[in-house]
Structure 1
Amino acid sequence: MSRDSIDLNADLGEGFGRWTLTDDERLLTVVTSANVACGFHAGDAPTMRRVCELAAERGVTIGAQVSYRDLAGFGRRAMDVPAAELAAEVAYQIGALEVFARAAGSRVSYVKPHGALYNRVVRDGEQAAAVVEGVLLAGRALPVLGLPGSRLHEAAAAAGLPPVPEAFGDRAYRADGSLLPRGQEGAVVSDPGEVVERSVSMARTGTVTAHDGTVVPVGARSLCLHGDTPGAVELARRVRAGLEAAGIRVEAFA
């Protein structure tokens, strides 16, 4: 499914204390949606507040990037969390970010899982249902950003939450539409020209070529670029310029 417009999102606020990873200020001049770390894989209260203020000033939509409680592993380690506990922790993270979003004159407009949780809820129905329960527990029927065809999107739709399909310009895909695990060679696409080409192609054709050459449908409403990628700001600028040069409007989905 081709589109004449698409959202461009990035993971932001991924620092803690004196340690910073993402160039939030400059990325917020490029993206239309900000997936803000809520303290479980990265982020702390001052960082969340600052990113929300910057996003609100620049008209960038704020989303809660929820994670397993895993600061040491940056939320990328597999964890087994009981469903009730996960639901409560998802609600907790959304609520924390909502305080700072509202104080900045904005609000949390969507939810996106991070890292190991993102990949887990592609296939794990119980964990997917727990994430959805957490969104509902937080008090609003927020859109849920994730891979098309995932168990997360099935659970979201069943609960009345809008599922928003997402694609990745800088990540390699498997033939089944899932992401190639980061531990495998070629999982992260590092060539800027290739990332731009893939991003434009996904927006125009609704498909991406998987690692094995299979053409995979993605139907993305939003494209993600990782804020922790080396040269992330310049890459985001090139992707946006490429999309606009192809006649594709870059605008928030929420």
Structure 2
Amino acid sequence: MFKVDLNADVGESYGDFIVGEDDRLIPIITSANIACGLHAGDYKIMDHTVKLCKKYGVKIGAHIGFNDIFGFGRRSFPIDSNELEMLISYQLGALMGVCKINDAEINHVKLHGALYNIVANDLNLSRTLILTVRRFDASIKIYGLSRSETEKAAFLLDHPFYAEVFSDRAYQSDGQLVSRNKNNALINDAEIIVKRMIHLIKTGQISAENGDMITLKADTICIHGDQIGAAVKADKLKSALVESGIEVKSE
């Protein structure tokens, strides 16, 4: 039996500024990555999003990024292990507090944007990520890029890891994501998204931008909640996965 988790980046609104369509998207997905207030989100949005996840039985994750609300966490900054440890601790602690008053638990941590990519390519920073999360709770999973240094660090440290693939992003032949600065980085056609994800889950392979077939482990598929029509795309993807015999669930 094939199975996969379906996650989305949510809780990215700020005050009265609304990003995405979380009320429609969260009932569809199986795990949620909630922004923790630095790249997006705020304390009220976090509370609302945790409540939505509880209502629909969706696993809760901390979506941790750079302190870069102007750049939505997608700008790169120099970072060392100590600063990464503090960034993780500050944001994970904030979401844990919100979860505590809502009688909810954190299932996973997923880094966001530029921070995600920097750590995915650095074994030492990946170790810092895992060891910091472990100080909070050793059962909290790491969601990270398939074939990354983060996956390698999780294996070396024997920490629970979900290899993540992206439904709406193009891949390079080395397994890295195509830069958002390129015109072909994002895939918006829902039919293409569905076909490539079903093929990946069933074969372990996906076509890179140059046409090469690359192998990726896929424990979880990401939907970007800030994209237009994210809920519709997620619903089509989930329905198609189920119809093709793939169970959509989070352990």
The code of the aligned residue for 1:42 comes to: A
Give the counterpart of 1:208 among 174, 190, 206. Answer: 206
Worse overlay, 43-52 or 14-23 = 14-23
Q: Deviations over 1:151-187 (max 9, x none)?
A: 1122223333212111111100000011000001210
The secondary structure found in structure 2 opposite 1:178 is coil
| Counterpart-to-counterpart distance in 2, 1:242 and 1:138 | 37
Give the counterpart of 2:109 among 108, 111, 128. Answer: 111
| Counterpart-to-counterpart distance in 1, 2:169 and 2:51 | 29
Give the counterpart of 1:175 among 164, 167, 173. Answer: 173
- Name the Cα RMSD after superposition: 1.3
Q: What are the within-5 Å matches in structure 2 for residues 18-97 of structure 1?
A: 18-97=16-95
Q: Deviations over 1:28-56 (max 9, x none)?
A: 11000001001111011000011001101
| Aligned residues between the structures | 251
The code of the aligned residue for 1:135 comes to: V
Structure 1 stretches of 4+ moved >6 Å: none
| Counterpart-to-counterpart distance in 1, 2:39 and 2:203 | 34
Q: Deviations over 1:62-110 (max 9, x none)?
A: 0111111111111100111221121122022111111222322221111
Q: Point out where structure 2 has 5 or more consecutive residues left out of the alignment.
A: none
Shift of 1:149: 2.1
Report the counterpart of residue 101 of structure 1 in structure 2: 99
The code of the aligned residue for 1:98 comes to: M
**TM-score (norm: length of structure 2):** 0.96
Worse overlay, 56-65 or 87-96 = 87-96
Shift of 1:7: 0.5
| Counterpart-to-counterpart distance in 2, 1:84 and 1:135 | 13
Report the counterpart of residue 228 of structure 1 in structure 2: 226
| Counterpart-to-counterpart distance in 2, 1:129 and 1:4 | 30
The secondary structure found in structure 1 opposite 2:15 is coil
Shift of 1:61: 0.2
Give the counterpart of 2:5 among 4, 7, 12. Answer: 7
Report the counterpart of residue 199 of structure 1 in structure 2: 197
Q: Point out where structure 1 has 5 or more consecutive residues left out of the alignment.
A: none
Report the counterpart of residue 128 of structure 1 in structure 2: 126
| Percent of residue pairs identical | 35
| Counterpart-to-counterpart distance in 1, 2:3 and 2:31 | 14
Worse overlay, 104-113 or 154-163 = 154-163
The secondary structure found in structure 1 opposite 2:6 is strand
Shift of 1:115: 0.3
